[in-house]
Amino acid sequence: MMGIMRRMKIWSFGREFFGAPMPSCRQVAEYLDDYTDGELPRGRKIMFKIHLMLCPDCRRYLASYRRTREMLGKVTPLPMPPATAERLEALLVRHFQS
């Protein structure tokens, strides 16, 4: 019984730290961009790092994400065809006017 209580205490400590809750694996995936760009607030970043330390799945995911980003960084973006740009602009205008 004591063992369970102690583990629960450690768990709840691990869940909230520096005022930020422990992110779930899904949230880690969502914030990966901001994390890689160094745009996460301090508390959240620390929780992120703790999650990565404890979760091999997310570490693997982060590694492959970084490789993908590196590869994309080497690709020169092609200009958007004018017809596509026009359609996109019309779509955005409609979206933000409604």
- Least Cα distance to 62 among 32, 17, 85, 94 occurs for 32
Q: Quick one: which segment of 8-16, 18-26, 64-72, 76-84 binds Zn ion (CB under 5 A)?
A: 18-26
Characterize the bridge pairing of strands 16-17 and 20-21: antiparallel
Nearest distance in Å: CB 75, Zn ion: 29
Specify the residue, 46 or 55, whose C-beta has the smaller distance to Zn ion: 55
| Binding positions for Zn ion, 32-61, rule CB under 5 A | 55, 58
Which residues does 32 contact at the CB level (< 8 Å), separation at least 6? 61, 62, 65
Nearest distance in Å: CB 1, Zn ion: 29
